[in-house]
A and B are shown apart, each in its own frame.
Chain A
Amino acid sequence: MLRNEQNELLTRTGPDTPFGNMFRCYWIPALLAGELPANDCPPVRVKLLSERLIAFRDTEGRYGLMDEFCAHRGVSLWFGRNEECGLRCSYHGWKYDVTGQCMDMPNEPEHSAFAKKVKLKSYPLVERGGVLWTYMGPPEQQPPLPEYEFAMVPAAQSYTSKRLQECNWLQAMEGGIDSSHVSFLHRGDINTDPLFKGSRGNQYNLGDLRPVFEVVESAGGLFIGARRNAENGHYYWRITQWVMPSFTMIPPRGNHAVHGHFWIPIDDENCWAWSFDYHPTRTLTDAELSAMRDGKGIHARVDANFRPLANKDNDYLMNRAAQKAGTTYSGIEGFAMQDASIQESMGPIVDRTKETLVSTDSGIIMARQRLLRAITAFAQQGVTPPGVTLEHQRVRSAAIVLPPDQPFKDAAREALIAHPGVAPASV
């Protein structure tokens, strides 16, 4: 459990909140590159960290992300005309470039210098790995571009999707580091989903429903090791990575692609669940890509606004017969919506003062405490939080079988670092 003030601190990420200020130390995913597919294409509304923004791609291919509303009368620039290297408001023709600088005010005298004095708040928007990333902190403290491995491999080796999740970012992220729920909530899918089935590790997963955990602080966050019994007294370890503030990476299975998430606040009651799949050493097959686009694995089928087709308005397409038959454990289909349905049911912001945590929640407990310490250190002393440094981002999850006396922190040390071109440690 947390005290109410701690829960407030961890769940509020708007401008000028302590965690909002710290979240703005990081590059975060803002859009899929495909949302701005061509020069002068329609602009896209974006809300991140409780700020309403507009994204556009200008005539020369430059990306812009700025205040959604025209400085003149507060009109949404979503109605604007994206033309001739700027976004022009449809109301009175004020025009802005990708930095938010007003370039033209047709309702002022010709050659008036006033336009130069008007600049909308804007943030950098940069493509890497099929994702448009933004940095919303002070320009003088902008860190280097992120180097998470999924965004660094060739495009044919990676696939990324996003979906709306209608709850606070933290309860969504905590699902990503809660290894003990997999044996229950996702039990029905491990052996049937095309992006999971067939690995030896699945049998260990399903054969031992009481994993034992070791949580180890890492430089950027946590290693969360779940161990299950394997043959000959050995242990099957699944080691999840959490990198602050909201990157999680699920241990791989067999030769399947490796996957993970970013959980990014839209506002305090909604977040984007970013889901990526990649393989460090091979291209993804047509069958894999087809399955990912079809919402298999950790992805979901979504509408044009990235809202899942199974959502709270249709009770997530609850199927009690499938639940009864054991085809799915909760009656909801697919890993992504199994998680989302459960987490949204907790309410817009779950009240953590009333939880009854147990020892297997230690990953969650430690993540909260690391975040709280980092927020305080940043607010009081300006200490750069973990996860900003590129070295903290060059990580991998791992699945490995070890003798009982061997700590995963030693045996999997190299496997937990992203080495380009080296296959992941997987069972």
Chain B
Amino acid sequence: MVSESARMSSAAEARFRIQTPPPTNRAVKMIDLDAASDSDVMRVIGEIDDTDLVLMVVRAGGNTAAVSAIGTACSDLRVMTHTVVIRDAASSDAALSKTLGEVRPWSLMVVVVGRRDYVDDILRSFR
């Protein structure tokens, strides 16, 4: 007799899985710290209340001045913070280390990538 686990993990049974993805209505705010103006930062902080995830993007050695303000606001409202550090060919190892030290206290996830287009892939992964 076929067990429940064997039957339910078969390809034949896979077609009975509910096809509609569960809704998430996840609200993600993305901010490019190198390009953001003070007003951009204030706008993001003002919108955090309605946000599930704040994604900060910064070059290695880039401008991290706003990280603590955004991070504090997210921490107060229990919002996830995710920082992507772009290490391009021109970035020094020391610059990357410095940036990591600056973003780490305010980021619950840090990803270091070599290309900026990874940011779009990461955003697309968060349905």
Contact = CB atoms under 8 A, between A and B. Distances in A.
Contacts of B105: 404
Contact of B9 (A344, A351, A353): A344
22 contacts: A1-B21, A2-B125, A166-B9, A214-B110, A215-B109, A216-B111, A217-B112, A312-B6, A315-B5, A345-B8, A347-B10, A348-B11, A353-B21, A354-B22, A356-B24, A357-B125, A357-B127, A359-B126, A360-B109, A362-B111, A366-B113, A404-B104
Contacts of A2: 125
A347 to B, nearest CB: 4
Contacts of A312: 3, 5-6, 9
A217 B122 contact: no
A366 B126 contact: no
A275 to B, nearest CB: 21
Contacts of B111: 214-216, 362, 366
Interface string A1-22: 1100000000000000000000
B35 interface: no
A217 B108 contact: no
Contacts of A365: 121-122, 125
B112 to A, nearest CB: 4
Given A347-B11, A405-B101, A1 B5 contact: no
Contact of B118 (A213, A366, A405): A366
Nearest to A2: B125
B115 to A, nearest CB: 9
Contacts of A369: 118, 121-122
Nearest to B125: A365
Interface in B1-32: 2-6, 8-11, 13-14, 17, 19, 21-22, 24
A217 B113 contact: yes
A354 B100 contact: no
B22 A356 contact: yes
Interface string A149-164: 0000000000000000
Given A214-B112, A369-B118, A313 B6 contact: yes
A146 to B, nearest CB: 25
Nearest to A360: B109
A269 B9 CA distance: 11
Nearest to A316: B5
B66 to A, nearest CB: 19
B38 to A, nearest CB: 26
Interface string A245-272: 0000000000000000000000001000
A110 interface: no
A407 interface: yes
Chain B interface main SS type: mixed
Contacts, number: 114
* Band of interface residues on B: 35 or more
A1 B126 CA distance: 7
Given A351-B14, A354-B19, 11 more contacts: A315-B4, A347-B10, A347-B17, A348-B11, A357-B127, A359-B109, A365-B122, A369-B121, A404-B104, A407-B96, A407-B104
A1 B26 CA distance: 13
B6 A351 contact: no
B101 A215 contact: no
Interface in A304-360: 312-316, 341, 344-348, 351, 353-360
B46 interface: no
Interface of A: 1-2, 166-167, 212-217, 269, 312-316, 341, 344-348, 351, 353-362, 365-366, 368-369, 404-405, 407, 409-410
A246 to B, nearest CB: 20
A354 B110 contact: no
B73 interface: no
Contacts of A217: 87, 112-114
Interface of B: 2-6, 8-11, 13-14, 17, 19, 21-22, 24, 53, 80, 82, 87, 93, 96-97, 100-101, 104-105, 107-114, 118, 121-122, 124-127
The 8 closest A-B pairs by CB, nearest first: A359-B109, A312-B5, A354-B21, A216-B112, A312-B6, A214-B110, A347-B14, A365-B125
A357 B82 CA distance: 13
A143 B114 CA distance: 26
A348 B6 CA distance: 11
A216 B96 CA distance: 11
A407 B110 CA distance: 11
Nearest to A235: B104
Nearest to A350: B14
A8 to B, nearest CB: 15
B9 A1 contact: no
A360 B19 CA distance: 25
